[in-house]
Amino acid sequence: MQKLFVNIKELLQVRTTQIDMVCGAEMADLPKIDNAYLLLKNDCIEDFGPMENCPKWDNIEIIDVTGKVILPTWVDSHTHIVYAGNRIQEFVDRINGLSYEEIANRGGGILNSAKKLNETSEEDIYEQSKVRLEELMQLGTGAIEIKSGYGLTIEGELKMLRVIKRLKENYSLPIKATFLGAHAFPTEYKENHSAYIDLIVNEMLPKIAEENLANYIDAFLETGYFSVEETIKIMKAGKKYSLIPKIHVNQFTAIEGIKACVENEALSVDHLEIVTDEDIEVLKNSKTMPVALPSCSYFISIPYTPARKMITAGLPLALATDYNPGTTPSGNMNFVVATACIKMKMTPEEAINAATINGAYAMGISKTHGSITKGKKANLIITKPLTSYYQLPYEFGNNLIDKVMINGDFI
């Protein structure tokens, strides 16, 4: 089945050859075609170009999108959307002056979510999670990574990963699963870190591998959570089961965690609200994608990833939501792109590159997603009529999406 979009006001992220990512100054270049056509065949992009060169095809569905912009769907490479309940009370606690660390020390934070998840059935968690996923798809997310990490027990982590597997089976967008057993130390292991790491390495990982439940492995590498040495042990253990590292790092402190991640060939390092000159040097010429999570900074009032400094140094940067019940209860990538422009001083071109092609790299799917390229999947955002794609970050509180397409079908 072929579909032809005609009279596209602006066709964004047009790449005639395959690229994996854009870095540094290249991030300011967002290739586009004004007054364009786009031909789809089945679930893939077949052809595109300016309307003046649009061939005449017979027996084809023609969709006139005069005044509208088309771009690839957002790629959200860092989420925690499989969880139970919410942490609304902690939101109020922060307003009343408690810090993230103080809430965690009172039994809140990740341990609060773990308690709720372990008390909730797998079926209930699936039903809650699919509602979130469907909402995100309507907001333009066409590929998503989902982490475990709210189980912190063998049964809880397997439960979460099985829910992610079921979402994968029932929805057509790419979903990647990340095992994050090293999210926090359960209360009973607070004084015995090595025993919990042994549980992850010797009991959780073999069961996860046996059921083929994960693509990646993660850890919260941070002061008060998992040390550099503990995270290295987890990364190495994951690699034995072909799980590539994607690591939480430098959210509150810089403790040479990025160096350890690069040395262990992490696909991405995520958060990076604190970045040193040494971290930037380590990331240069590596294959590790830095990932910023600006709506987390917005929600819990911590610094924003220093995007300008990193891009000026020649680094790539991806954007993701960090959607989770405690520190970012939103998966709206449109808000992420806008916040990157408003608070991190990224240009719209840089932010869109970060949320599409670079996000695809951080998910390991840049060969098939993230740009308008012949042969790539037809995962598309069709906007409402716009004067310019700059409206997407400019009108940060408005939903400017008309339709979303996944694998050549409107959702």
Q: What is the 3-state secondary structure (H, E, C) of 61-99?
A: EEEECECCEEEECEEECCECCCCCCCCHHHHHHHHCCCC
Q: Give CA–CA dist 190/184, Å, rounded.
A: 9
What integer is the mean pLDDT of 81-109? Answer: 87
Q: Are 67 and 386 in contact (CB under 8 A)?
A: yes
| Torsion angles phi and psi, residue 258, rounded to 5 | -65, -40
Q: Which residue has the higher pLDDT, 84 or 1?
A: 84
What integer is the mean pLDDT of 196-202? Answer: 97
Specify the pLDDT at position 57.
85
Q: Which residue has the higher pLDDT, 85 or 378?
A: 378
pLDDT at 107 over 80: no
Specify the pLDDT at position 109.
84
Q: Is the pTM of this model over 0.85?
A: yes
Q: Which residue has the higher pLDDT, 87 or 160?
A: 160
Specify the pLDDT at position 159.
97
Specify the pLDDT at position 186.
94
What integer is the mean pLDDT of 327-349? Answer: 97
**pLDDT tens per residue across span 18-58:** 999 999 999 999 999 999 999 999 999 999 999 999 988 88
Q: Which of 234, 76, 80 is nearest to 142 (CA)?
A: 76
Average pLDDT in the chain: 96
Count how many Cα atoms sit within 13 Å of the Cα of residue 109 in the half-sphere of its side chain: 18
What integer is the mean pLDDT of 111-122? Answer: 91
Q: Which of 26, 33, 16, 21 is nearest to 71 (CA)?
A: 33
Specify the pLDDT at position 110.
86
pLDDT at 287 over 90: yes
Q: Are 318 and 359 in contact (CB under 8 A)?
A: yes
What integer is the mean pLDDT of 370-375? Answer: 98
Specify the pLDDT at position 285.
86
Task: Identify the weakest region by mean pLDDT among 91-100, 232-241, 350-359.
Answer: 91-100
Enumerate residues 6+ apart whose C-beta is below 8 A from 107. 187
Q: Which residue has the higher pLDDT, 106 or 81?
A: 81
Specify the pLDDT at position 82.
97
